[in-house]
Amino acid sequence: METKILDIVAKRWSPVAFSDKPVNEKILESLFEAARWAPSAFNEQPWRFIYARREKDTAFKKMLDTLVPGNHEWAQHAPVLALSLARVFFTYNGKPNPTAYYDTGMAVGNLLAQATYMGLFVHQMSGFSAENAREALRIPDEYEPIAMMAIGYYGNAKTLSGTLREREKKPRTRKPIEALIFRGGFPAG
């Protein structure tokens, strides 16, 4: 029997074909609200998100311009771009927070689940210049930019260029579960 997983986990994937259809502000709020409720060490909530809408915010172009060309090509059509950041020092004592990235990843996980539930798609990208983002988006030193995200509804793969269309059709793959999960410790030898 096939192992069962939640629909919102099974249905999530990272497309490159985004529709022009705007994302309603309330829906976007739900995504960030879901992120807000993630757990974190010492309840530090180190995650931050900067977002911009393609049609309305001048920051959209600034964010887009930080992307490597391979991401810029398709992400320019997404109605929303967002950047995840982590505050890498604890607010209560100023010391480095070793789980800031982990916690931020959990917040993004919540955001992805909420997005999938609401029929949206999110494609994360580490292919961007954090340095340029820091400058363009006025990011203070204690925050580390992590990943850019294209957010929107699914578009039409037929509108993509040849290479992107091929990529969009490729079956998604994962390592086998035995390579990832170990009962009682790593295998001996």
Q: What is the rounded distance in angstroms from the CA atom of residue 77 to the CA atom of residue 95?
A: 40
Binding characters for ligand FMN, 14-53, by CB under 6 A (x = yes):
x---------------------------------------
Q: Which of 172, 175, 177, 181 binds ligand FMN (CB under 6 A)?
A: 172
Binding characters for ligand FMN, 107-126, by CB under 6 A (x = yes):
-----------------xxx
| Nearest CB to ligand FMN, comparing residues 23 and 125 | 125
Q: How many binding residues for ligand FMN (CB under 6 A)?
A: 9
Q: Coil, helix or strand for 8? A: helix
158 contributes a contact to ligand FMN by CB under 6 A = no
Q: Which of 71, 97, 104, 110 binds ligand FMN (CB under 6 A)?
A: 71
CA 85 → CA 9, 42, 126, 156, 157, distances in Å? 23, 18, 12, 30, 30
DSSP of 113-180, one letter per residue? HHHHHTT-EEEEE--B-HHHHHHHTT--TTEEEEEEEEEE-B--GGGS-HHHHHHHHSPP----GGGT
- Residues near ligand FMN (CB under 6 A) are 13-14, 71, 124-127, 147, 172
